[in-house]
Structure formats: C-alpha cells, structure tokens
Amino acid sequence: MNKISKEMQEQAMKVAKGTQRQNQTKEQTKLISQGIEKGIAEYKKQQNKKSRERDKIRKAKLKVTVNKTDIIEVIKPKSNQLPWILLALSWVVFIFLFNQ
C-alpha cells in the first residue's frame, strides 16, 4: 500500500473541514479526509501511468527516427574522395600529354 505524505493528509483534512456539515462528527470528517487521500493517490497513479505510456511512445518514435537516419546514412554514398581522385587523374593526364 502506498504511504501517504503528511502534506497530503493535511490538505485532505483542510478540504474535508471546508466541506464539513453542521452536524457532522469528527469521525465522519476523518473518513471524508481518508477518501480524499485515496482519491489523490489514485489520481497520481493514473498520471504516472499516462506519463509512462507517453514516454514509451516518445522512445518508440525516437527509435524509428534513429533507424531512418541510419538507413539514409547507409544509402548515401561517401564521395569525399571523388574530387581528389579526379584532380589527381587530370594532373596525370595533363603531365602525360605535356611530356609527349
């Protein structure tokens, strides 16, 4: 069972006292306060669950994006050397033709 913080208990008690009826006993107010605490705890559980689901979706989208980037990099040719090879080849041809 989840432990309920002192702050949450105090807040729940304030809300319960704020909605207290004229002939309501302390026990009834305490029960209302406990119900409010349980409601807050349940709300927090739901929000944590939603947060985990959003995080899973975000990670899945990120993984797909990374995979697409990897595929593009594999397909993309690495043509850094091509200009240098063409330059060297042109100089060789130039020298060969000039020396004849």
Q: What is the pLDDT of residues 49-95, one digit of tens each?
A: 999 999 999 998 888 887 777 766 656 666 678 888 899 999 999 89
Query: pLDDT at position 79, please?
Result: 63
Query: pLDDT at position 1, please?
Result: 47
* Angle 87-93-99 from CA coordinates, rounded to 5°: 135
Q: Is the pLDDT of residue 100 over 90?
A: no
Residue 3 φ/ψ, nearest 5 degrees: -80, 140
Q: In the chain, where are the structural domains located?
A: 6-98
Q: Tell me the whole-structure pTM to 2 decimals.
A: 0.55
Residues sharing a CB contact under 8 Å with residue 11, sequence separation 6 or more, in sequence order: 40
- CB–CB of 34/54 below 8 Å? no
